[in-house]
Chain A
């Protein structure tokens, strides 16, 4: 009995590897934008900036309260219907938009919690020497909040890498889309998706290693 077509699997590795960069790009770009947006939201929430605070709360609520797949379809199929100019949104753009907004909503909350967790006396000390709110955030609060938020943010990044696989539903040929095509051609679904799964797994493991390394570095100031 033919258990597993190992030869086919090995042959598939270089084929699928060509699509890995796109997967990483989707997640990488999504993460950068999501982080920027999340920091912005977190600061708005912490400082309770009027109007923006309320808008942020609604935004976070919506993007946490609805499935990512629904959001992706909204951006890809829904937006062009609203305005013909928006037909320029291709699958890759829609994916990045979806990932950015979806994950920024989650990350904003963990960044906010990390900011609030920074010892209040330190923020007072920063103000007492005449720092502006911005200087205080940049030099004292955010560096310490980063350390607290890092493990959670890395988890979201890992989640985001896996979530890029949804892009194939928008016709984007990234790792998942490519695997789907290969499998449909060979009918060796099990082999093909095992190869894809292992690739995702290796990438995530590498990131976990990086996370440990970063945590040790960031904790240096706090060890006795």
Chain B
């Protein structure tokens, strides 16, 4: 006989009871392992998605509305010795079956064979005819189309000139073409192509790059470059950007150098009319008489009652402008002097448009004193001063003008036509550059040209190329693969999430394990006592018990490891199907690292071992004589006052009171956290006080009050550990179920309220193609045919969009550059829309939205986002700063000053519109709309608006529906929590059953004695029922009160749809379940003949 043999004998002999301990450990470990493996699986799946969506792409450049020559890709490919693919990317709408099915907000990408090389399928993308398209699976399934079907694509017509730039044309913002679906791109064949860090697959159409660029009006140009990774040597970001610096030309940036005929000069101009500030600055640094020029279109030049319509005024500097000319002085040419009958010294007034927000134009006037009348010849007859205004400069006749501003062609006289015929857009007046800049500078620039006193274009180009950095114009590569992998590795931590969601079930499983192990140990207390009597030291006995326990927990945990992987499979299947709302993708694959398995099993072993160690320690601590005689069963009424429990109880409830006093009811997630803590403290305190109460009940030996019920209750005092364990299991389970149930988000409830997540808006719209005009304005109403619905009670709040990553809970990746949206804060402030859940010091709580217009120190831009986006999507908190790059490649800080309670803005960072267009002048039009409409008009408004803006791909949904979509994620997590919590409850019920069964079994002698002394079956049943029902009632009460405390803020928050019926049903089920177990056990106990048990005793 040795320790090993003794261990083996014991394990084998008690295998039936040990099995339950093994199962308990297996369950807790399986849940632990499952949670860790889910983390591995999600991370692995997201990583795989990165490779699927990028192919071999390592670096990408997206130049937005600047279109470089495709040649640049060739140059870069040669210099980097790898594949470089140019793409032309835009947005659009796909329509199939004659408009029966349409999908908005799709990616339209012009590609050639080089794109195919990124996915190892060169031929497929390189052989696209002009009328052929490849669609990805996502779009094919949404449109229900197959190969050789026809689709209509309406695409945003990209333009070199931002749509909001002064005089930019507002026509042709989209173009529609029909395509034959040549093939469907599988996910593994670049079908998932997406430069954003998102696990969701966008709907994409691939067409011929050559065809698309030609249709857009800039043949041979593109706006995206992909650089493939090199197999033999790695590329670095700096190297790629350096190569770009060598490869780019001025033409790639839309800049042009040209000689001015007849004058020994070279002029730099932009196809965007205004020179971007970095370009203008670099050009002026050239020296050699670099002369900045600003030429502007004025509506009218007036002297008294005589006026000349629609003319150009220029600020060409020296030598046209004489030295010393003042800012309020003007030179006019002879033609104008004659037309206005003006002379030197006369005052004339200029009327012109300046650019407001978006395309908004404000007519302004400015007065000048004529200091000279210059002849319309020589340097003053320079028609090259006129920039290439679209709709103006190329037209044969004035009456053919079609600029992007309102003009009254009726005002154009014959003499104006003649001037146009003879002198085209030659400026009629000249002002100082300072004055011109003061009047006409805008967010696109303050110069229309820079002239150099040199005839060698090459020299100027060389200077500018060296001086300028491509990043100044937004030409900068990003390490998209590294960013994607980082975003996936820092994605939502599903291990932690599921550990959190499974916390109570793990605790329940461990408590059950402990309970079962304690039963086993208690039942074998005589054996342990004997061993002590036979000379085994306390330590030796303890280790004998622990060795046995260790084998059980190791076995249970190993099994748990295997079951955990299976459990992970079930959870993943659920995440891909019934719980898809939480992840939004079915591209999840089982994957586990051995280390996760090892960690899970090790933690399972450690935690379960610790649990049984605690139980053993308490058992072995008992007096040896008691153990040996089996007195442990009847000698558990303690003499020692449970002071520790009393202290824990007092401290917990004192802390609870403090929280209730100091917590700010109904404000933000912190309030929820505080109250959840309050509920937990109530539970802890409740358990501790129950322990004290049981002690007091155990001490109460007043025979006068002895009754069946009292005997039952006193039995609970006798078995205080098991009583508290049971109460704890039940209370925790109910706490979870009730708290989770009450915290479910209901987007419909209170959705009409301004402080709800809809902001009180009826509709939320998102367009694929920007809508250039304010839908409320006269122009917008007319242009889009909204006369029938626009009224005083139908209003729009538009948002500009700077595309970025989706930071909503629908995206599992940890994004760094979420989408920015710009709004006029006054619109939201006036309505007092939405609720701020967290605010920094910069915010005035009375008027929080106006913080967006505030100027913060260090050039920080104030921004607001959903608190859940800030905390979970970005891993930040209110007060933290994000860094963005503006259109000029300069970084700027965005400070998250406020966090909104769950809102329709999830996934976006909100800044003021003014700020957004300052930083991104090329962003034209609006793409997000909140619509106010009275309930009775909502359907009509939605129908008319969707119809009117279908070419812009407006997706209009009820604001409450959009909120519900986001709530789906949270509610899905809550469902998961609820399911796992219910398992906890089930375990609690099983625990109760085990306790009752073991109690009855253990006390057969005791019960037999009661029978022998004359108790009838009913009396014994009453004792057993009162004993266990008391535990049930206390457990349920604690659970309910704790949960009520935890969800108190939810009652005070709009949109909190508390599912009272569900909670009630669960309560009834739990209560019934407990009573059934108890009653069955009581019946069973009294059914058998108990007298033999008495004899054994």
- The answer to whether A binds B is no
